[in-house]
A = this chain, B = another copy of it.
Amino acid sequence: MGARGTARILAGAGPRVISNTPMPVRHFVKYTFLKVDPAWRRLEWERRAEDKREFIAACDDFADGHLLRAFSLVGTRGDADLMLLTQAQNLERIHEFHVVLAQSGLMKWCEVPYSFLAMTKPSEYSEESRLEVRPAHGKYLFVYPFVKTRAWYALSADERWRIMQEHIKVGREYPSVDLNTSYSFGLDDQEFVVAFESDNPADFLDLVQRLRTTESSSYTLRDTPTFTCISCSVGRALGGLDGAALTVTETVDG
């Protein structure tokens, strides 16, 4: 979990003290997963093109001033085709975007099989955390909702801090993998939404397998469903629904 801005771990400095002062830079983060009704693909080409244009217009409007990222899940999941990641300081702005989006022709044929609402927040265990989701900088985003056991929260803050340092140390051995954690306590069904970004799925797989043997792993209650999301433009994500594939630049076995 490598090149992350001003990464400084205060190893040995003990748990951080979190103040209750206002944090104006905290943002809402919304993960919206979409599944298109197969019947939509049976519509005329022109109808589908218009439906997609309206969807893109809604995204463009929001993206003018806010972060919006699109991902395709075609070929990686069976229960979702597309994921939109949006961010705003104001929850009403997230709401308004989804209202406008719902007016697009495409959304009249979509379900939302998964939806995660979260906020950014400074980490108790690391100063590497960010208060904003960063623009696209990796080919893949690996996302899952995360809930810890109550036994975890019964540990002392010192003990939790110690255990997390091992977790963070292992992560640092995989510098090609970058982490975004956001918080959902009380806002949605999970406690955290964890999103790893990487160009190299094999590295990420190896990291996750290795983390299973750390002490912190034993306090995981739930870390599924797990989504492999292919980063792309909104236009390309929509193209993946009924035809145009992402450009493929294969090396060996293409």
Contact = CB atoms under 8 A, between A and B. Distances in A.
Copies in the assembly, this chain: 5
B115 A98 contact: no
A41 B111 CA distance: 13
Interface string A61-91: 0000110000010111111000000001111
Nearest to A30: B75
Interface size class of A (residues with CB under 8 A): 35 or more
Contacts of A153: 212-213, 217-218
Nearest to A38: B108
A5 to B, nearest CB: 20
Given A115-B79, A142-B187, A226-B189, A74 B98 contact: yes
Interface stretch (A6-14, A162-170, A236-244): A236-244
Interface of A: 20, 23-24, 26-28, 30, 32-33, 37-39, 41-42, 65-66, 72, 74-79, 88-100, 102-103, 107-115, 117, 119, 121, 140, 142, 150-151, 153-154, 157, 183-189, 191, 196, 201-202, 204-209, 212-213, 217-218, 220, 224-226, 228, 230, 239-246, 248-254
Give the top 4 A-B pairs by smallest Cβ distance, nearest first: A78-B112, A78-B115, A186-B208, A75-B98
